[in-house]
């Protein structure tokens, strides 16, 4: 029993110390864990604090690049620090490029957190073993950190790079870090990034590089001074092939790929940076983005540039030195060719001026829109008769290009002959604000700015527009009246379209503007040359400073401007003879087969019979009928009244009104009912027409109505006259058809008697002037003007 007690006491004696020992170990472990957690927390807080205090440097400035519709770089600009640093987009990093670079530079790139501990240990052991630096441990992420903050190498710098690498891994995805590496790696001289190197050395995008080309580029950053592309290609091939043999050993590429790469020659050298489409490139560069994907078709652009340069060369002898062209895809509104001058490098004639964006006088190019708006307002159809006669709007008297009048003309004749007076009369009836609002609404900026200064003359070119705006305007007619802003690059694709004119009005304009038998068809166009099937309109600005020709078919709209950037006019410059031949040649080059498709008549456009004399729906007495397009429920439906019934005496020598019509002894006869201004024009040119006989001289009504209308001067107008060489003022009236003579009075004093159609001139006194005109029936009209003299 004592033995059992002894054993029990022994167990009891040692049980308590063992328990205390375990508890002590537990406390030590707990304390160590707390320290570890605290250390981790401190390090985490410290890291976050350092991250906030020392944020990653911002991305560097990129070279602005302009790409064509296939994504090839066609123009590039140096950065402000004179570097070629073109940004490689993620989609341009091909699987081949990614695989080759990662295998060469950092095969565990996708697995480490920015620092590769195994690589660090291996580099430390090798360096210690050889007592010198034999290998490095920099990951791709650390190389990015070094490129973002270049400087001398040191252990402190290495620690900073490691921290920056961690920051990069926290901030960016692996793909984005690889993108940064490919954008910042140096390739000798002022070339940075794989895109700059591939464009300047191989003239292609990085996603089109072969395995041999990728490795040829990848060896340059290690020895940029001794491996210069174009000078040391043999050395580059040797270095490239070493890596290809390593890749063969590792088996990451197929044997055939390695063999092809080893056999591929290297003839690359540094090419000049691409400098194509310079005017559009500079226009886009001002927006501030690093990259612009345009819709320029390079083949079309180069053909158009050559055509323009060849066309302008002989015109220089006529003092015509420049041209601008825009080619537009009508379906998408994308600009596929953009030429701002005949030769960008010609500094003697302002070749760097962008004529496509310059504000110039548009000549007659706005006339189609005016007529289209009038069609939609129900005021006109193509066969509507307009008066092309002397017209005056409060002192503004428009003239035709040839300074002749044509009398009664149809709207389609007025448009395809580009007559000025019918266009002004149409705009006056429509209202100039309607035209200004339409143009302002589709981006005609100068018209928006000048809207309070503009008048009826804007339809003849009395305003400021540009080739970009006019080309976009005419493309609307090819798109059933729908306007879309010009799209220069992918970022412009969200532009909203607007309805400019109805599809019916656009179709009517297309039919008129596609006629070939018209005065503005170029006489210089050879009969042996193919005539493209297009609709087009020409324009010539005041002083022959600008020649325009803008044409379109279903596929394309082409705008052409020819002139001098100095504003100097040329006697031979005109839209028909100078700009249109170039337009035709461009269409023949870009879209030779234009006969297949043409504009079809829309459902909202119909055909009706109209009177040939007035262009209105036929009345009871209309004998000659023709067909005309019209818009149901929109176009005017008032029947034609081009003639009126007149009561005549039995001998036909006098006419009667209802006030003096006798009970018997009279007859009825119809006479043409013409506009008074048209009648006057016919009288002046001695054009015979069926005249209403003189009114019954015994009628009392005649003395109460029908006083002569004073045409010139205009009532209520202020006239400024030069003292040293004053010009006399014209006195002219419009009297009834039976009036033979009129009598003029100035300030209630008799001045002169003259024939009713005769022009009379007088020299007014300064101050208010009252002018009176009395016809031979005693009817009188008064007006008042203000005269002021200036000068010595």
- Count of C-beta atoms within a 10 Å radius of residue 482: 17
Q: What span, in angstroms and rounded, lies between the C-alpha atoms of 558 and 536?
A: 9
3-class SS letters over 622-680 = CCCEEEEEECCCCCCCCCCCCEEEEEEECCCCCEECCCCCCCCCEEEEEEECCCHHHHH
CB-based burial label for 350 (10 Å; 0-12, 13-18, 19+)? middle
Distant-in-sequence, close-in-space partners of 391: CB < 8 Å, separation ≥ 6: 397, 398, 421, 424, 425, 677
CB contact burial 26-65 (16+ within 10 A = b; e otherwise)? eeeeeeeeeeeeeeeeeeeeeeeeeeeeeebeeebebbbb
Catalytic residue among 138, 281, 364, 475: 364
Report which of 751, 744, 755, 756 is spatially closest to residue 780, judged by C-alpha positions: 744
Q: What span, in angstroms and rounded, lies between the C-alpha atoms of 258 and 210?
A: 11
Residue 354 C-alpha from the chain's centroid? 12
Distant-in-sequence, close-in-space partners of 394: CB < 8 Å, separation ≥ 6: 714, 717
Decide: 216 and 197 in contact? Cβ < 8 Å: no
SS3 content of the chain, % helix, strand, coil (to 5): 40, 20, 45
Q: What is the DSSP-derived secondary structure letter of residue 347?
A: G
Whether 457 is catalytic is no
- Count of C-beta atoms within a 10 Å radius of residue 296: 28
CA atoms within 13 A on the CB side of 550: 31
Report which of 313, 771, 434, 387 is spatially closest to residue 613, judged by C-alpha positions: 387
Residue 548 C-alpha from the chain's centroid? 16
Report which of 525, 478, 485, 486 is spatially closest to residue 327, judged by C-alpha positions: 486
**Angle, alpha carbons 411-333-446 (nearest 5°):** 65
Query: Which helix (H) or strand (E) element contains residue 66?
Result: strand 65-67
- Count of C-beta atoms within a 10 Å radius of residue 465: 25
CA atoms within 13 A on the CB side of 193: 23
Q: What span, in angstroms and rounded, lies between the C-alpha atoms of 661 and 452?
A: 53
Catalytic residue among 72, 89, 94, 105: 105
Q: In sequence order, what are the beta bridge partners of 671? A: 644
Whether 503 is catalytic is no
Report which of 235, 304, 444 is spatially closest to residue 360, judged by C-alpha positions: 444
Distant-in-sequence, close-in-space partners of 102: CB < 8 Å, separation ≥ 6: 109, 110, 140, 178
Query: Which helix (H) or strand (E) element contains residue 588?
Result: helix 580-590
Distant-in-sequence, close-in-space partners of 777: CB < 8 Å, separation ≥ 6: 702, 703, 706, 736, 738, 739
Angstrom CA distances, 308 to 162, 216, 324, 349, 475, stand at 58, 41, 8, 15, 21
Angstrom CA distances, 487 to 74, 286, 472, 483, 497, stand at 18, 16, 10, 12, 12
Report which of 679, 649, 678 is spatially closest to residue 665, judged by C-alpha positions: 649
For the chain, give the longest Cα–Cα distance. 176
Report which of 768, 763, 709, 769 is spatially closest to residue 739, judged by C-alpha positions: 709
Q: Give catalytic residues, as residue numbers.
A: 105, 364
């Amino acid at each position: 029993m004592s033995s059992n007690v002894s054993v029990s006491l022994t167990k009891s004696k040692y049980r308590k110390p063992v328990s205390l020992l375990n508890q002590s170990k537990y406390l030590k472990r707990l304390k160590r864990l707390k320290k570890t957690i605290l250390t981790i927390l401190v390090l985490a807080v410290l890291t976050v604090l350092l991250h906030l205090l020392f944020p990653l440097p911002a991305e560097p400035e990129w070279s602005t690049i302009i790409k064509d519709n296939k994504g090839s770089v066609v123009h590039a600009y140096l950065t402000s620090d004179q570097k070629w640093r073109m940004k490689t987009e993620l989609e341009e990093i091909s699987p081949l490029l990614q695989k080759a670079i990662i295998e060469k530079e950092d095969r565990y790139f996708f697995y480490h957190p920015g620092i590769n501990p195994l690589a660090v240990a291996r580099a430390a052991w090798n360096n210690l073993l050889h007592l010198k630096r034999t290998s490095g441990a920099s990951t791709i992420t650390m190389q990015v950190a070094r490129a973002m903050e270049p400087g001398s190498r040191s252990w402190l710098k290495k620690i900073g790079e490691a921290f920056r690498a961690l920051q990069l891994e926290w901030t960016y995805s692996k793909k984005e870090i690889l993108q940064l590496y490919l954008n910042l790696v140096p390739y000798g001289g002022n070339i940075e990034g794989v895109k700059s190197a591939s464009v300047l050395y191989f003239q292609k995008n990085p996603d089109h590089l072969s395995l041999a080309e990728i490795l040829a580029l990848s060896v340059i950053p290690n020895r940029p001074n001794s491996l210069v592309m174009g000078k040391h290609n043999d050395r580059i091939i040797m270095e490239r092939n070493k890596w290809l043999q390593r890749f063969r050993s590792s088996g990451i590429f197929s044997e055939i790929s390695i063999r092809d790469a080893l056999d591929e020659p290297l003839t690359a050298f540094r090419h000049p940076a691409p400098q194509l489409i310079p005017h559009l490139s500079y226009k886009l560069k001002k927006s501030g983005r690093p990259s612009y994907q345009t819709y320029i078709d390079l083949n079309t652009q180069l053909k158009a540039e050559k055509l323009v340069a060849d066309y302008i060369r002989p015109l220089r002898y006529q003092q015509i030195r420049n041209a601008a062209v825009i080619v537009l895809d009508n379906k998408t509104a994308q600009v596929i060719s953009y030429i701002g001058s005949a030769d960008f490098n010609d500094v003697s004639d302002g070749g760097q001026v962008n004529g496509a964006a310059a504000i110039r006088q548009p000549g007659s190019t706005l006339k189609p829109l005016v007529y289209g708006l009038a069609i939609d307002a129900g005021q006109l159809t193509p066969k509507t008769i307009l008066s092309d006669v002397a017209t005056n709007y409060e002192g503004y008297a428009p003239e035709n290009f040839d300074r002749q009048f044509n009398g009664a003309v149809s709207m389609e004749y007025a448009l395809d002959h580009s007559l000025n007076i019918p266009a002004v009369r149409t705009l006056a009836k429509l209202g100039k604000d309607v035209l200004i609002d339409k143009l302002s609404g589709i981006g005609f900026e100068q018209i928006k700015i000048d809207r309070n200064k503009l008048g009826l003359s804007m339809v003849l070119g009395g305003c400021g527009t540009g080739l970009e705006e006019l080309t976009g305007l005419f493309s609307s007619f090819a798109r059933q009246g729908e306007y879309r802003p010009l799209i220069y690059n992918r970022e412009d694709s969200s532009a909203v379209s607007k309805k400019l004119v109805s599809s019916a009005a656009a179709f009517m304009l297309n039919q008129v503007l596609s006629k070939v038998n018209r005065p503005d068809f170029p006489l210089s166009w050879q009969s042996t040359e193919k005539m493209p099937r297009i609709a087009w309109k020409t324009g010539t600005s005041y002083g022959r400073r600008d020649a325009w020709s803008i044409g379109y078919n279903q596929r394309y709209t082409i705008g052409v401007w020819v002139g001098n950037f100095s504003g100097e006019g040329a006697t031979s410059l005109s839209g028909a003879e100078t700009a249109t031949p170039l337009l035709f040649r461009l269409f023949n080059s870009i879209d030779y087969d234009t006969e297949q498709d043409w504009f079809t008549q829309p459902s909202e456009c119909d055909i009706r019979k109209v009177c040939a004399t007035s262009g209105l729906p036929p009345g009871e007495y209309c004998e000659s009928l023709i067909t005309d397009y019209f818009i149901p429920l929109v176009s005017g439906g008032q029947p034609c009244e081009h003639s009126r019934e007149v009561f005549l005496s039995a001998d036909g020598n006098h006419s009667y009104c209802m006030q003096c019509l006798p009970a018997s002894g009279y007859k009825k006869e119809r006479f043409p009912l013409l506009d008074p201004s048209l009648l006057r024009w016919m009288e002046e040119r001695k054009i015979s027409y069926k005249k209403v006989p003189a009114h019954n001289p015994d009628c009392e009504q005649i003395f109460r109505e029908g006083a002569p209308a004073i045409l010139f001067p205009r009532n209520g107008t202020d006239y400024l006259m030069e003292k040293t060489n004053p010009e006399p003022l014209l006195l002219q009236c419009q009297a009834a058809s039976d009036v033979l003579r009129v009598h003029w009075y100035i300030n209630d004093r008799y001045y002169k008697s003259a024939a009713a159609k005769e022009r009379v001139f007088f020299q007014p006194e300064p101050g208010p002037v009252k002018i009176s005109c009395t016809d031979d029936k005693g009817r009188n009209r008064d007006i008042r003007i203000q005269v002021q003299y200036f000068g010595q």
